[in-house]
Amino acid sequence: DPLPYIEEPGIGPVATPDLYEEYPLIMITGARTTSFFHSEHRQIPYLRQLTPDPWVQIHPRTAKNLNISEGDWVWIENHRGRCRQRARLTFEVHEKEVAAQHGWWFPEQDGAEPNLYGLRQSNINQLLANKPGTTGFGADLKCTLCKVYRCKEEEL
């Protein structure tokens, strides 16, 4: 079609209303910091001082409704899995959105299987299908559904 159009990805409020009830936030991924390049440089001490933990951006009103405060460890979860990141409250995201960092691993942890440097603890890829959409323009890296809730003390 020569005219532009909008097509909701395979998972979203309109395409999958049943999932939207359980996972009421739209998650975008790939949020970056200047400290790292994708998954590289996490092992450089100075850069880890700049960004010691992975973070997810949450609108302050959304965080308040979820009893989440700045810096809390939170679970980001959907029907595919979950991962843990720190809450960063900001008006830069919409109230129905969260923006999560990608590429996290922890060089200070054990690299042997099954831990693999804590790869699965904060890696947002656990929530993504990693397959192209119907238009062929990539996976659901920029828009999938999730819910966010505080980690319990014993999960830290």
66 pLDDT above the threshold of 90: yes
Contact 106, 62 (CB under 8 A): no
Q: What is the pLDDT of residue 133?
A: 59
The structural domains of the chain, with segments of one domain joined by +, span: 17-155
Residue 134: band (very low, low, confident or very high) from pLDDT cuts 50, 70, 90: low
CA atoms in the 13 A half-sphere facing the CB of 150 = 14
In this prediction the pTM is 0.88
What does the DSSP assignment read for 105-137? Answer: --TTS--STTTTTTHHHH-GGGG---S--TTSS
17-155: CATH topology is Barwin-like endoglucanases (2.40.40)
Residue among 102, 126, 1 nearest 54 (CA): 102
Higher pLDDT, 11 or 147: 147
* pLDDT tens figures, 96-110: 999 999 889 999 999
**DSSP bridge partners of 147:** 77
Q: Do the beta carbons of residue 19 and residue 49 sit within 8 Å?
A: no
Amino acid at 139: A
Kindly state the average pLDDT of the residues 8-13.
78
Whole-number pLDDT of residue 58? 98
State which of 29-43, 58-72, 107-121 shows the largest mean pLDDT.
58-72
Closest CA to 56 of 45, 70, 66: 70
The pLDDT of residue 137 is: 55
